[in-house]
Amino acid sequence: MRPRLINQVRLPGIRHVTQAAGLGWVVTEQDRVAVNLFDHELRRVARLAAPLDGPQMKVSATRRLVAAGDAHQIVVLDHDGVVRWRTSWDRLGGSGADFHLDGDHVLWIRLADTEELVAVHGASGAEIRRTPLPGPEAAWFLHRSVGAWTGLTLADPDQTRALLIRLDAEHIVSRQLAGGDLAGFSPAGGRYLALTLDGFLSVRDVASDAVITARHLEDLPGAPSSLAGCRHVDRAVFLSEELILAAPNTEGLPDDAEGHLLLSALSLRCRSQVRYPHHDGSGAVHPSYQPGRWLTRHHEDDQLRLWQLDARLDDEPMPGQLALL
C-alpha cells in the first residue's frame, strides 16, 4: 500500500513530537528552547521560545496553551508566548515530573518523588486535587479525543501499569487497564491498544477491558516473512476503527524488513505493508486525531511528513476480481 503525502516540513534538529489536544502536534528542537505548533494539516501555527534554562525540556499543548518544563520548573504560556504562570517543582512538592494538558486544559502532573498525581487548572495554575499514585518513576500520558478520560502508563519492565484518569466534581477518578503499555485509543474512543515488552499486542474494550483480539508479533497472519524473529513494536496506533498502523523494531533483521504494517483492528491480521515513496526509511510514527492519517519523523533529513491512506490494501481484490470468502 502506497500512502498519499499530505504535507511535509523541514525542521532542523527535531527532538520530540507530541500530539497537541484540539490542535495537531507540538515539536521541540535539539539545541534551542523553541516550541513549534502545527495544526492537523501540518501547517505551522506558531513558534515560540520557552523561558527555560535549556532545550532539555518536555512540552504539552492544546489549541490555546503550551506547558513546558525542565528539571527545575514548569511554565504555561499562550500561543503568542505570553507567560500565564510558572512554578518550581519543589513548590508542587516533588521533582521527576511528567505532565499533560488535556482537551479541557487541565494540566495533569505525575510527581515521581512523592508518587502523586496532581490536577491543575492549566490557565491559572491553581491546584484542583492531588491523589497518591504509587508505581514506577517513568510515566507518559495519552490523550483520548472523545470523552473525559485520559490515558496514563507507569512504565517498568516488571510492573507496568496503565490507567484511565479523569476529574469528577473536581475529584480525581482512576481505573486500571489490562494488557501492558497503553499505545492508543480508537477514533470513536471505545477500544484501546496495548503492547507488552515480550511482543504481545491486544485490542480491548475500554468499558470492560474485554479482549477483542490478541496476538504475538511472530503470529500475525499475513505478515512479511522478512519480519520473522521480530519481537518488539516501536509504536502502534489506530488509524481508523478498522486499521492499526504498527512500526516493528527491525534492528538486526534483513534490510527488506524495513517498513510499517497495516493490521486489522478486529483480528490483528496483516492487511498491507506500507511502501513509502522515498528512500530514507519509514521514520518514527506519531498518531493524528484525523482518522486515516499519521505523521512520520525523519531525523536523517530533518523532515516531518503527514500521510493519508489512499490506496488499495494488499489483501483487497483487484478491480473485477471477487473477494475470497
**Sign of the C-alpha dihedral computed for residues 154, 160, 164 and 169 taken in this order:** negative
Q: Please count the other Cβ atoms lying within 10 Å of the Cβ belonging to residue 144.
A: 21
CB 141 within 8 A of CB 154: no
CA gyration radius, the chain: 20
Q: Cα separation of 32 and 35, whole Å?
A: 9
Q: pLDDT truncated to tens, each residue of the chain (325 aa)?
A: 999 999 999 999 999 999 999 999 999 999 999 999 999 999 999 999 999 988 889 999 999 999 999 999 999 999 999 999 999 999 998 777 899 999 999 999 999 889 999 999 999 999 999 999 998 888 999 988 888 899 999 987 677 789 999 999 999 999 999 988 999 999 999 999 999 888 899 999 999 999 999 999 888 999 887 776 666 788 999 999 999 999 987 665 555 545 799 999 999 999 999 999 876 667 899 999 899 999 999 988 899 999 999 878 988 875 655 554 3
Q: What is the pLDDT of residue 17?
A: 96
C-alpha to C-alpha distance for 125 and 209, rounded to whole angstroms: 34
User: 233-238 and 243-248 as β-strands: parallel, antiparallel, unpaired?
Assistant: antiparallel
| Distance from chain centroid for Cα 24 | 12
Q: What pLDDT shows up at residue 325?
A: 39
pLDDT the model gives residue 324: 46
